[in-house]
Amino acid sequence: MSTIKKVVLAYSGGLDTSVILKWLQDNYQCEVVTFTADIGQGEELEPAREKAKKFGIKEIYIDDLKEEFVRDFVFPMFRANTVYEGEYLLGTSIARPLIAKRLIEIAGETGADAISHGATGKGNDQVRFELGAYALNPEIKIIAPWREWDLLSREKLLAYAEKHGIPIEMKHRQGGSPYSMDANLLHISYEGRHLENPGAEPEEDMWRWTVAPEKAPDAPEYVEVEFARGDIRAVNGRALTPAQVLAELNRLGGKHGIGRLDLVENRYVGMKSRGCYETPGGTLMLKAHRAIESITLDREVAHLKDDLMPRYASLIYNGYWWSPERRALQVLIDHTQERVNGWVRLKLYKGSVMVVGRDSASDSLFDPAIATFEDDAGAYNQADATGFIRLNALRMRIAAKRKAN
């Protein structure tokens, strides 16, 4: 008999987690608490509550976490200019530590001794959820049904649902989207079916947030964003909350066909996986943040951040958000952002985003008196460059002489 009395389930109300809910009740004979996170996926969440009630669930959590998601997870990540494998802006990865955190909090609030999730045994999310959970509660028990049951196909899931009276939406009966999708305020991801052939071009009707670049407006649009300590606080002169900032940048970027990505990435579990992503707002944020840093960060600090970023990105991708090394890196990153203040102007046009202006009234390190190509009135002595070059060439001159001899 199971020793687990109560489990908190990360529950979307979709086919997989609805089956998991019933499966937990049948196989563990335990009480189930459902937790549904609203992180901006754009779906109606109240149906999840009604489905949970039909299975006798008494403790149902549906939490609006959009502001916390952007403020405490997305913004800190973008302060580091984080990109995984040169392209991926980590839209799925960065949501998992927040969900893990809330699962553990709810377990504490309800007296549950376990949590459960719907991540498969092939993917990264199982690692992200569970590393986060153990970091926050080392004694928690974790149930991962996809690693235990034999319902390893959509057909078996549907059959189980039919047998146990689990409501199945028509989109599931008729096939629904051919893709496995994950959405939040930062992005939408698409995997599976047609995309499992890395040589096949994504179908145009797959994309949800962005217009095709060739169908975007024929006139460019200018967007001005204002930064305070490395975070965007206003768009086009209007002060916005973190979630509002990202929502507005998503609208603007999507309108101009910005933020599409087709990527074959290396999963932490070892396999290569092809996925497509839409991250319009994140694409604008990254471009603007690097631009404001270009005039406010010291050269060596900027280069140090660039050196550390791939390591930081891997920590997030692999599920180590709550690790001591990620926290330590964040302290350094946040320290570098104290003077990252000012504004950036972006030009959006048919899938592209270009920086066309940037300034910081109080923190700019750009000195036009020194940088000018005109007479600088002695601000910079060009003759100093002779000794600078000779000293920096010294080791190479010594090596060249040795080679010549």
Partners of 346 in the beta sheet? 223, 355
Q: Which residue has the tokens 């028509």?
A: 170
Distance of CA 10 to the CA centre of its chain: 19
Structure tokens at 30: 């335990």
User: What is the signed CA dihedral for 240, 241, 245, 247, rounded to 10 degrees?
Assistant: -120
Question: Tokens in use for 78?
Answer: 């973008």
> 180, 314, 323, 352: which one is catalytic?
180
Contact 31, 5 (CB under 8 A): yes
Burial class (CB in 10 A: 0-12, 13-18, 19+), 373: exposed
- Which one of the listed residues 12, 16, 79, 274 is annotated catalytic? 16
Q: Which amino acid is at 181?
A: M
Residues 6+ apart with CB under 8 A from 294: 302, 358
Residue 220 token pair:
């460019």
Rounded Cα–Cα distance for residues 238 and 233 (Å): 8
Instruction: Determine phi and psi for 269, rounding to 5 degrees.
Output: -75, -5
CA-based end-to-end distance of the chain: 82
* Distance from C-alpha of 324 to C-alpha of 332, rounded to nearest angstrom: 13
Q: Helices (DSSP H) in 166-279: which residue ranges?
A: 170-173, 242-255
Catalytic residue, candidates 125, 231, 260, 274? 125
Catalytic residue among 96, 102, 260, 358: 96
| Nearest residue to 361 via CA among 290, 295, 316, 301 | 295
Left if phi > 0, otherwise alpha if psi is -120 to 50, otherwise beta: which for 350?
A: left
User: Is position 359 annotated as part of the catalytic site?
Assistant: no
The rounded Cα 103 to chain-centroid distance in angstroms is 19
Q: Decide if 231 is catalytic.
A: no
- Residue 352 a catalytic site member: no
Query: For this structure, is 180 an active site residue?
Result: yes
Retrieve residue 228's tokens: 């305070």
The rounded distance, in Å, linking the Cα atoms of 332 and 327 is 9
Given a contact cutoff of 8 angstroms between Cβ atoms, the answer to whether 220 and 348 are in contact is yes
Q: Just list the catalytic residues.
A: 16, 96, 125, 180
